[in-house]
Amino acid sequence: MGRQTRRRLRDTSRDVQPRARLHRRRRERAARHDDRGPLSVRVLLVLVVLLVSACASITQGGSADVVSGHVTEIVEVGSREPVGSGMPQPFQVVRVQLEESLYRGEVVELQWGGRRALDPNGFLRVGDRVLLSVTRDDNARTYAILEIVRLPALIPVAAILVLALLVVARLKGLAALAGLASSVAVFLLAVVPALRGGSDPLVATIFGCLGVIAVSVFVVHGLNRKSLAALCGTMAGLGVVTAMGAFALATARMTGLGSEEQIFLAVGTDGRIDMARLALAAVMVGSLGAIVDMAVGQASATAELAAVDETMRGRRLYAAALNVGRDHVGSLVNTLALAYFGGALPLILLMSLGYQPASLSLNSEQIVESLIAIMAASLGLVLCVPITTAIAVMFAGSPPPRAQE
């Protein structure tokens, strides 16, 4: 090799090394930016305010006042057997002091019992806070105990969750909490009022899901190629779930009236809500979180593989990332099925007792709707993997120039 050839190779190597260091520094700065998290505290506070206002808007309405009070005395404890039940039911007579609005300080004597008192946790104790309905009719007022106040018991659990997120994920955990708050706020502030106003449940839910996808992905993971790939993959997976769910619900002739709550909703809204389309909307919402998880994980895996080996592009990168996604999809499908199974566990246990034939129970709308949700969501998860991987590989671009040997 001549002297001039060796000199040219040294010059080429000196030109390539600074460019490689520049690419490495850019990746390190991007990684540090991702670790800091893209969300400021002010944005988090705005989202919390939106969530609180959303909860307040949901609780508005109703012909009876709902006020809180606390139990001051247990007057009587006994049991009686309702006609035709064949089973004694315990009851209590308690005195409750009201705490809110025009009724503050008023003490009423009320009965509490029925199915809630079948378990010891359902019995009232002195000091318990309860929610009461107050119905006014001319000059008379009627009181009834509705529920035990349970939300304060969730505060320690929520505090532990927030602490764990901040310790383990740091600002990423804070961003995750903000994404959760924004997702709930989107549904409470936009989707639920639209449904109450008579809008098409499917259309309203689709727009709500698109808002949740955009906010949750960009708030938690920032605005970058990885997030764009996850966004596109999530929308594609959700489209698969919608198409599969619509086909299955129509083929199975589902009415959306398989539970007492659905019947009460249909009657209470005078039939303004299409319950069958609402059932499809529920399938979409139930699968949304898992599909976002799958798309974000797959986009992240593809981006990391591309960053580790800058020569890995195209089919090689697609095959390597797809191998990671195959393991992920198996665990997520199992998680999704177990979540639905856990929700239907009391009904499944009732079926096992043999009070009615298994063929009748399995053909009930409630069971079939859950099975459709599991299968549609699983199909969306499975197809989300190759779609997201292909988009992320496309965003990865071409490899940087290499030195000639």
Q: What angle do CA 65, 58, 215 make, to 5 degrees?
A: 165
Q: Which pLDDT belongs to residue 246?
A: 95
Q: Which pLDDT belongs to residue 24?
A: 54
- Burial code of 377-395, b = ≥16 C-beta within 10 A, e = fewer? bbbbbbbbbbbbbbbbbeb
Q: What angle do CA 13, 14, 15 make, to 5 degrees?
A: 90
Q: Which pLDDT belongs to residue 393?
A: 93
Q: Which pLDDT belongs to residue 356?
A: 76
User: What confidence tens digit (pLDDT) does each residue in 238-262 have?
Assistant: 999 999 999 999 999 999 988 888 8
| C-beta separation of 98 from 72 below 8 A | no
Instruction: Give the predicted TM-score (pTM) of the model.
Output: 0.74
Q: Which pLDDT belongs to residue 45?
A: 47
Rounded-to-integer distance, Cα 326 and Cα 324, Å? 6
Rounded-to-integer distance, Cα 190 and Cα 202, Å? 13
Question: Which residues of the chain, if any, have pLDDT below 50?
Answer: 9, 12-17, 19-20, 22, 29-45, 56-63, 398-405
User: What confidence tens digit (pLDDT) does each residue in 318-342 have?
Assistant: 999 999 888 888 788 888 888 888 8
Which position has the token pair 């019947």? 263
Q: Residues 6 or more apart from 208 whose CB is under 8 A from it?
A: 186, 187, 190, 191
| C-beta separation of 384 from 238 below 8 A | no
Q: Which pLDDT belongs to residue 240?
A: 96
